[in-house]
Every structure is written in C-alpha cells, then in structure tokens.
Amino acid sequence: MYPTPTSYYLPDLLSLSQPFRGSTNPHYKKAAAESRAWVNSYNVFTDRKRAFFIQGCNELLVSHTYPHAGYEEFRTICDFVNLLFVIDEVSDDQNGTDARKTGEVYLKAMRYRGWTDRSPLAEMTGEFRERLARTSGPRSFRRFLKHSEDYIECVAREAEYRERGEILDVESFQHLRRENSAIRLCFGLFEYSLGIDLPDEVFENPTFERLYWAAADMVCWANDVYSYNMEQAKGHTGNNIVTVLMKARDCDLQTASDLIGAHYAELMEHYLADRERLPSFGPQIDADVRLYVRAMENWPIGNLQWSFETNRYFGPLHDEVRRTRLVMLTPRRHDSDTDSD
C-alpha cells in the first residue's frame, strides 16, 4: 500500500503540445452569452451545479477548439457542448438503468425530428438537432448519429461500472473512454463547422484512423490527469485513466501522472509521423482532409489552454497550477455536502 497522497505534479503537456498552434474564435463573447442564457432558460441545474456550470466556461473551450467556425456554427457547437454538460452532470448521479433512460431521451430527439417528451433535455436536443441538420452534410450527420449511440451506450456502462465499484483494465478503459468522453461527437462537428462532408473512405483509411485516435487520446488522457482532483473529491475516480493506471501498474498517483505524460509524448510522436504519411484521396478531398486535420489539432492544445483559464479543474489557483504544475488534493466531499437534481 502506498501512503495517501496530498498532492501530485501534472505532466508538462503544454510543452509536449508545442507542435500545435492555439487560437480562439472571434465570435466567442456574443455567442457564449447567448448559449449560456439558452441553457439557463431551461432551469435544469440546482444552485450548486449552476455555479459549477458557470465556472466551467464551456463556451471558452469551444472558442479554443473551433477557432475557425463562423458565428452560426460556433453558437450551435456552444449549445451542444453545454448540452453534453447537462447529460454528464445528470448521469453522474444516476445508476446504469437511469443513465440509459436519460440517454434514450437524447437519442430519440436526435434520431427523430420533432420528437419530444417535453423534458428540458428533449427540448434542448431538438433545438440543437434542427440547427445541425440545416447545413450538415448527409455523411457527417449519419456518422454523428452513430457516435451519439456509442456515446450514450458507454455513458450508461460507465454508470454501471460506478455502481459496482468496478475499475477496468487499461485497454478496456481506453475503448470506453474514447466513447463516453464525447470526443468523437466533438470531432464529428468539424465537418459541420467547416462546411465539408468527407467520404467514409477517409475515416476507414488506416493512416487517417491512427491520426484521428492519437488526437482523440491526447485529449482524453490529458483531461483525466487534469480533472483527477475534482473527480476524487466527488468520489468519481473509477472513470479516470489515473485510477486505472494505479491499479493496473500497482503504482502511486505521481507515477500514474508521469506515465500519462510519457504516453502523451508517444501519441504526439505518432501523430506527427502519420500526418506526413497521409495518402491522397484526390485533390478536392485532400483539401478537405487538410482542413479536418488542422481542426483536430485545435482540440489537444485548446483543451489544455482552457483548463488553465477557468476554475473548472484547478479552482482560483489555476494560474499557479499552470506555473508550478502542483495540484493539492481536495478532501473528498461527503453526501451531506451535496445537493441533488
């Protein structure tokens, strides 16, 4: 047994991400205010969760990760990321059966235009679907629906694992995390934001597929090591690569954090190599693929920058944590300290 840790150092992921150029969206201020008001109009949060929602600045994350998007597309993506926050916050407090029911509401509203059970989640999803379907290409919209199904399935499975106190092995967890993180849904909005509609053959290409997963995994692994303190304070550590590595490698918290840094470096190395190996799909498709690849690169660096610009993971000390990379662990919150939806 290792002694109970009181702190840990983050890996230096910002330095490892230097090959990517960060940016922000010029429509952020106006669209963020509108999207936040849109979510609040549904009154889905308790006071505590509303405060958590506000301090998370989801719209700022969208600004960093979709800097290229036009106003209409940017506003729609802000709404979607806020919608994901609603699903995540609701399902975090549910067992597997109830999380699956919550997910089914989202899926029905996405699959069937105009469907609603009059719940806030159904109404919000329906509004998002209308705006997405207006200009989204048929292939990217079909893929988005499939990713939605996989996302909801894995969110429900995550709730079931949490209910049983089960911690997965590294490989099984990675497959789960790729889906329940919603990163595939977020990547699925690149084509909508860029006005392109790539053929399936691009996503089925082995080199492109490796490139895609390297970018997605960079986001997932970084997010887990950054969010670990917040999650352990809530008692939700099972769905985190930090916990998975500590169990699988029989190591302490700091070693797990270091392992994540080493893996992130490998992912970046493989990404850069595969980016140079991408085959040609024809002149027009190649141009669209280049746009998609550039959009993918906004996510790893944008996610890191956003994490240090808000209170979501590191509270008011986020600037100091960015400078020192030292995270002091927050005492676990007891049920009596929380309220429920």
Q: Count other Cβ atoms within 10 Å, centred on residue 246.
A: 20
Rounded Cα gap, residues 129 and 312, in angstroms: 27
Rounded Cα gap, residues 37 and 42, in angstroms: 9
pLDDT band (50, 70, 90) for residue 227: very high
161 has a pLDDT exceeding 50 = yes
Q: What is the pLDDT of residues 102-137, one digit of tens each?
A: 999 999 999 999 999 999 999 999 999 999 999 999
DSSP state of 23: -
Rounded Cα gap, residues 177 and 172, in angstroms: 9
DSSP state of 94: S
Note the pLDDT of residue 190. 98
Note the pLDDT of residue 163. 86
DSSP state of 239: S
Note the pLDDT of residue 236. 79
338 has a pLDDT exceeding 70 = no
Mean pLDDT in residue range 153-168? 90
Max avg pLDDT among 96-100, 233-237, 308-312: 308-312
DSSP state of 189: T
339 has a pLDDT exceeding 70 = no
Determine contact, residues 10/327, Cβ cutoff 8 Å.
yes
Note the pLDDT of residue 335. 44
Least confident of 8-12, 45-49, 84-88, 130-134: 45-49
Least confident of 86-90, 212-216, 255-259, 328-332: 86-90
DSSP state of 327: E
Token pair of 1 as six digits: 């047994």
The reported pTM is 0.93
Contacts of 14 (CB under 8 A, 6+ apart): 304, 305, 322
